[in-house]
Each structure stands twice: as C-alpha cells, then as structure tokens.
Amino acid sequence: MHPRHPQGAGLGFRRELLGELTAGVPAAIEFFELAPENWAGMGGASARRLRAFTERHPFVCHGLSLSLGGPAPLDVDLLKRIRRFMDEHGMTLYTEHLSWCADDHQLYELLPIPQTAEAVNWTAARIRQAQDLLGRRIGIENASTYIAPPGAEMSEAEFIAAVVAEADCLLHLDVNNIYVNSRNFGFDASDFLHALPLDRTCYIHVAGHYVEPDGLLIDTHGADVIDPVWQLLAETYATIGPDVPTCLERDFDFADFARLTAEVDTIARLQRNAARERRAA
C-alpha cells in the first residue's frame, strides 16, 4: 500500500469505537493510532475492517511490549511481524516506550529504566537493533513512572536525551506523562519539557489521568485532558511548531464519542493557533 504519513490531530483506534467511526470519521481526526500487537497477523472480519480504514486514513503504530530497556533479548519475531504489518498497511511511524516490561515473561507494567550510563548504552543498542529490523527510525516515549529507579547518575531528562543521541532515534513526546511525573515527584513540568531533545520530536501524546485520594496521579488514559496538560501542549507547539502529529489517547470510558471528538478538535485548534502565531512572528 502507498505510505500514508500522519499529520494534524489523531485518535487511538479502538474496537469500542468502530461503530461510531464506521458511521463517519469526524473531520478533526486526521489519523489513527493502534497497538500492532493487537492487530498484526489477524485475519477475517477484523482484518477487513482495519483495511477499510488504513486505505483511507494514515495510521501510527505505537508498541506496548518491546521492552526496550529490559534484560531479555528483543523479540525479533515480533519486530519482523510489525514491519510486514506496517508495509502492508502503508504505515510509516512506529514508536515505543522508554521503559521495560518483560523478563522471562510479560509483566504487563511499564517500569522505569535505571538512569545510568550503562543503561544508556544498553537501551540505545537495543533501539538501534529495533531500527535495523524495522528499516526505519523509531520514536521513544517518555514514560509515566511511580518509583524512582535506584542508582541514578543523571536526571530523567538527561537520560532520555542521552538515549536519543546514542541510538540516533526520534522522540515521542507525551505531555501528560510529563505533567503526571512532575506532580508525583515535585518538579517543574515546563523545565523538564525544555530539557528534552525537542528537535527530535516526531510524535506527541496527550491524555487524561486519575487523581488518587492521597493526591497521586495515575496515567490512566481514561479521563478528560485537564487544562494544565493542554497548556503544556500549547507550550510545546510554541517551542517546536505545530506540525508534529498529535494523538489523543483514550483506553476506556468511550461512552461519549462527541466529547472525544471535541478533545481532538482542541488539539487541532491549538495547532492552528500556534501556526497563526508563528506566521505573525
């Protein structure tokens, strides 16, 4: 299939939304994101329904289980399967979390990587291997974390920048994860944002989160995006420009499709505002 490059504002492609999306994709949604682990290799009606969308809309692959920072060997078979899947559907962008989630088996949790020089070298080598197998540069996402890994030799932002440089990969920027971590660990979200290698940004996530009774923020992707996260997204566009494709993540609570569409509209509006401000400047 002819490659389709994502741009503008997008939404996660979920089976729970297929009814609404089949009836008509709102104009604000310019691309979709999916987890290749959930779709690659599937046949039958699911494959046909997906093909109907990938023939008309760009898609981004956002991986869930590669465990880039983990101790177990990379899943080479999975990477080969993802490459075939992307080629079959004309997908050009693949991203994954800067975390680890497997040892002898899947842990079903995205765990932080120790912020050490040794971990930089280890993780960057695995990213380079993944890029070779996929035949493209990939984006790595700054993750939400709930424990500080021991033995840190550098800050999280320094660690991310070092991995990106050593791997010669791209940055998948998640602004909600920055906000969640800033509240949980007590740092300034704007300072963290500007410490990242923003010139490498290929893709952006925005999402909602849950606040526990004790004040801990959990990155659930199951609630509306709050104003401080929208403000951080606007600051991102003001810094790097509005042309980076940006996806609204929503993993559950899909009851009000109009509200989801309105949030995608907000992404598009912020992109338009940033474009106007750049032209005026």
**CATH at residue 173:** 3.20.20.150
Sequential DSSP letters for 140-207? EEPPP-SSPPTT-SS-HHHHHHHHHHHHT-EEEEEHHHHHHHHHHHT--HHHHHHHS-GGGEEEEEEE
Mean pLDDT of all residues belonging to the chain: 91
- Flag whether pLDDT at 99 surpasses 90: no
- Flag whether pLDDT at 107 surpasses 60: no
At residue 1, the pLDDT reads 72
* Confidence category of residue 110, pLDDT binned at 50, 70, 90: low
In degrees rounded to 5, what are phi and psi of residue 61?
Answer: -95, 120
Range of the domain at 239: 9-280
What is d(CA 216, CA 208) in angstroms, rounded to the nearest whole number?
Answer: 14
At residue 251, the pLDDT reads 84
At residue 100, the pLDDT reads 64
What is d(CA 248, CA 196) in angstroms, rounded to the nearest whole number?
Answer: 21
Structure pTM?
A: 0.94
Residue 14 lies in a domain: yes
Residue 181 lies in a domain: yes
Q: What SS3 state is found at 233?
A: helix
Residue 1 lies in a domain: no
At residue 192, the pLDDT reads 98
* Confidence category of residue 105, pLDDT binned at 50, 70, 90: very low
Residue 172 lies in a domain: yes
- Flag whether pLDDT at 7 surpasses 50: yes
Segment 110-126 mean pLDDT: 90
Residue 2 lies in a domain: no
Residue 4 lies in a domain: no
At residue 112, the pLDDT reads 81
Residue 26 lies in a domain: yes
At 51-90, the pLDDT tens digits run 999 999 999 999 988 989 888 899 999 999 999 999 999 9
Of the given ranges (45-49, 197-201, 205-209, 269-273), which has the lowest mean pLDDT? 45-49
Interhelix angle 175-185/227-240, nearest 10 degrees = 120
Residue 3 lies in a domain: no
At 131-181, the pLDDT tens digits run 999 999 999 999 988 778 878 899 999 999 999 999 999 999 999 999 999
215 dihedral zone (left: phi>0; alpha: psi -120 to 50; beta): left
How many domains in the chain?
A: 1
Beta bridge partners of 218: 210
